[in-house]
Structures are given as structure tokens and as C-alpha cells.
A and B are shown apart, each in its own frame.
Chain A
Amino acid sequence: MGEAINTGDTAWILVSCALVLMMTPALGFFYGGMARRKNILSTLTLSYAFLALIGVQWVVYGYSLAFGEDIGGFIGGLNYLGLSGVGAAPNPDYGKTIPHSLFAAFQMMFAVITPALITGAFVERVRFKSFLLFSLIWVTVVYDPLCHWVWGKGGWLAALGVLDFAGGTVVHIAAGFSALAFAFAIGPRKGYGKTPMEPHNITFTVLGAGLLWVGWFGFNAGSALGANGVAVNALLTTNTSAATAGLVWMLLSWLDGRPSTLGLATGMVVGLAAVTPASGFVTPVAAMVIGAVAAPLGYYGIRFRIKRHWDESMDVWACHGLASTWGTIATGLLATIAVNPNGGNGLFYGNPSQLGVQLLATVVTMAFAFGVTFILAKVLDWSIGLRVSHAEEEVGLDISTHGERAYS
């Protein structure tokens, strides 16, 4: 018996799709404001490029690798190439009450933003050609398989019962640790640590953070794949964690001198990243705990990175990687089936084994994303070169790569 499409569920996921789409431009502005004025167009392009690149890749083969028929728990088969067979009829494994094609479209938006997150690591110096090649290979060999492991029917981490509601492992840990690996491979920006690299337009960053927050409602509440109580819970936990982390971050920066605007915006995003894996499994009060811990983790994570002179330029590792590592582990502590009967109980609800699975998924994601990214980036560095020339870097990538000036 075929499942019936529910119009309410379908309408909500259509809206969520649009909300998550908006996050990629929002991310471009979030990062762009922190870049120097000679690299704003380049930084925007690094995010926007994925709307184009993955918009094609996902339809051609990306969706199939992630959600096609399982091969050994590790990768999807090629049965959905070109989205063949992915139509209006629901797929019972991927949203019983919405068109299968809508699930594919919703998932595409995640595949777009995840690699865009990584770009924060290598802005202002990456060679565009190498970036495009890296990105296409990365989504193919890191994102698509990881997505299958955690969310695909038959994926090995899914089979172990990992709880990752909206992408703590698949999106944020993967992006954060890939970013760190790429930063090690490409090296710091010219003059990093010697000359201050001030954000050129914090208004963009704050605007981007606000739009990310709005988009995140689609990201997390949309991941319920229906217009239901779990979706509402996810929206509430998302909001609560972002609010708490924003407050705590603001206080931390105040204790260090001033209540920084950039700090408040950063804290909000860190709260959003942290709660992502947990949003559909924990209570709003638990989300407060998640946000409150995520903020100092990110705040001192950035300090730790700066002290070591790692130029992971926009702190993807500290803000997304560390925050979501905590969020994924916290899911193993705080999850409760009172919130989501299809979820699970964490350690605090009498199920210590969930914590073990969460830790395993966290460590596996870190190692896989970091390892593959580092090797891939190094190989590209040796073969075609990861960086622009010193002169091009000095002039700025807006002119040297794109032949355009943002502010004339």
C-alpha cells in the first residue's frame, strides 16, 4: 500500500527548502564581512559557487551516491542517477508523506551549504581552479558517503543507531575538521600574524548571521520532514540554543573588554551549529545547556587556534566543528524519546550505549573528513597548486581572480 502525500508536510518542507537555500548566500555575507575589502567578491563567490556546482552535481549523481540503494553500508548505488525514479511518490525511508523528489531537493540544500562552510578556512588566498576541483571531489568522496553512512537507508552509522537530527556530523563536524585540514595544507595568508587583518564590513557579517538564524529553522525544523510536533520542538530548541550561546558569547567578550557585535553574531551561529544534531531529540531546556557550553568552547577554541598561528581564517573549526562535536555528544546525553518517539534516549535517560554510538560517529567523522581533506588538498597543492601567487594575493582576489572591484 502506497503512502499518501500530506499537503501540510509537503508545504512545510517546500518552505524549508527555500529557507536552507538562503543560508548559502547568508554564509557568503557572514564570511565576506570578515574578509578584507579586496576579497569580498571572492569570498562571496566561494559560497555562491556551490549553488551552481552542487545544483548540478546533486541531480546528476550526488543524490544517488548519498541515498541510492545501499552498497555495503558505505555508499549509495547509481539507481537514482539524474534523479531517475525520484518522483512525486513518497519513498517510505525518506519522508513517508512528502514527494521523494522534495526530499531530494531538501537534501540538496544541505549538500550545497556544507562545502560552502569549509571555504572560511582558505579565503583570500585560494586559487579558484583548485578550489572548484577540490570542492567537486570533496562532495563526491567525503560528503556523499558520509551522508549515506548517517542518513541513508542501510548506512553503517545509521544502522548503529546514531542520532544526528539535522547534520551535526554530516554537516558541521565534517566541514569544521575539513576546514582545519585545508588550512594546514594551504598555510596562512601573507602577513598573517604580523599585520592586523580586520573585518572590512561587520554589518555584512551581522546581517549574514541573522539570515542564517532564519534559515536554520528550515534546516533543523525542516529535518522533521513534516509539519508536526517534532518540527516545532526542533524550531524551539534551535532558537533557544542560538539565544543562549549569543548571550554567553557576548558576556565572555564583555569580560575581555567590550560586548562585541561580531562576538554576539558569532555566538548565535555557534549555538545554531551546536544544537543541529540534537534539535529534534532534546528539550528546550537541554538546548539551553547545549548553547551555554558551546559558546565558551567556540570562544576559547578561537583563542587556542590564534595562539598556534593557524590561519583557519574564519574559524569554521572552532565555530562549527567544536560546537557540533559537543552537540553530537550532548545528544548522547540529553536525548529523550519523550520529545521524539523515533529518536532515542541518552545517558541521562538511562541509555549509556547511545553516548558510545555518538562518540564513535563523532570520532569517525572527524578522522574521515580531516584525513581525506588533508590528503586531497596536499595532492592538489603538489599538482596544480592551491594558492594564488604572492602578487595576486597582495592585490586581492577580487581583481586578480575575478577582474572585478566590489567598491568602485
Chain B
Amino acid sequence: MLKKIEAIIREDKVNDVKEALKEIGILGLSMFEIRGHGRQGGITLAGRSGTYQVDMLTKIQVNIILSEHNLEETIEAILRSAYTGETGDGLIFVYPVEEVIRIRTRERGHEAVMYPGDIDERKGLAAKA
């Protein structure tokens, strides 16, 4: 079973999250800049004369497609690395994924999201040892 993690995180936590994911062996991901707001509302910016309110904040959305058996560890890594405790830390969404196909090799499903040295390979090595 494949899953998609969509994590909306702080701009300044991007590197921490990337590092944490790399550490546990999540090697494939994509991210983009989004704008939005939750409970936090917005921020105040300096204008030409005085300040003004902006209600849409820049956040980063990280997308990861992975096998279900790696889901909890990955979520845990994001929770740990994206956390500050202040409002605006973000949200994690998890979706089921119908199919994944790697274009180069035509591999499908779990095979298509595996990389050399990734989370599964590490687990395999750990199991052997």
C-alpha cells in the first residue's frame, strides 16, 4: 500500500526537515512554496508609511510518496524536525496513492519508490545484522 505525505511546514524549518528525512533514509521528495493561513491569521509587514497586515503567509509544502510500512517513522521525523511549539508549525496530511510508476524503468508500486540506500535498504541491513 502506497501513501502520500503532504506536510505543510515553516519556511525556516525546510532544512531541518530535509536533514531529518535524509537521516532516516527518505531520499525522494518534492516541495513547493504555498500561501495560506490557519489559526495564526497573518503577519504585519512594514509599508511606505507605517505597517500593514498580510493574511496569507508563505509556507512550504513537502510531498513524499512512500510505502505504508515506513509511514509512522517518517511522520515522526517530520513532527520532530518541524516543531517549534509556536502557532504556525503547520499540518501533515496523509493520502492513499493508487499507483506509482517510474518512467525510466516502468517499475510500479513499492518498487517505483525505492532508492539505493533508502529507508528499506537500511531496515534490511539492520534485520540481517
Contact = CB atoms under 8 A, between A and B. Distances in A.
Nearest to B42: A196
A257 B48 contact: no
B49 A253 contact: yes
The interface centre, meaning the residue of B44, B51, B54 with most chain A CB atoms within 10 A of its CB, is B51
A257 B51 contact: yes
A302 B48 CA distance: 8
A299 interface: yes
A59 to B, nearest CB: 37
B50 interface: yes
A96 B20 CA distance: 75
Nearest to B52: A196
Contacts, number: 40
**Interface range on chain A: under 10, 10 to 19, 20 to 34, or 35 or more?**
10 to 19
**Interface range on chain B: under 10, 10 to 19, 20 to 34, or 35 or more?**
10 to 19
A263 interface: yes
A266 interface: yes
B53 A315 contact: no
A203 interface: no
A263 B45 CA distance: 12
A391 to B, nearest CB: 23
A300 B49 CA distance: 7
Contacts of B54: 196, 198
A315 B51 contact: no
Interface in B55-70: 55
Contact of B46 (A196, A260, A302): A260
B51 A262 contact: no
B108 to A, nearest CB: 35
Nearest to A299: B49
Contact of A302 (B45, B49, B55): B49
A302 to B, nearest CB: 4
A308 to B, nearest CB: 13
B51 A256 contact: yes
Nearest to A319: B48
Contacts of B50: 253, 256-257, 303
Interface string A249-278: 000110011101011001000000000000
Nearest to A318: B49
A257 B46 contact: yes
A33 B74 CA distance: 42
B51 to A, nearest CB: 5
Nearest to A195: B55
Interface in A285-339: 298-300, 302-303, 306, 315
B124 interface: no
Contacts of B85: none
B47 interface: yes
Interface of B: 44-55
18 contacts: A196-B52, A196-B54, A196-B55, A253-B46, A253-B49, A256-B50, A256-B51, A257-B44, A257-B51, A258-B51, A260-B47, A262-B46, A262-B47, A262-B48, A263-B48, A298-B49, A300-B49, A306-B49
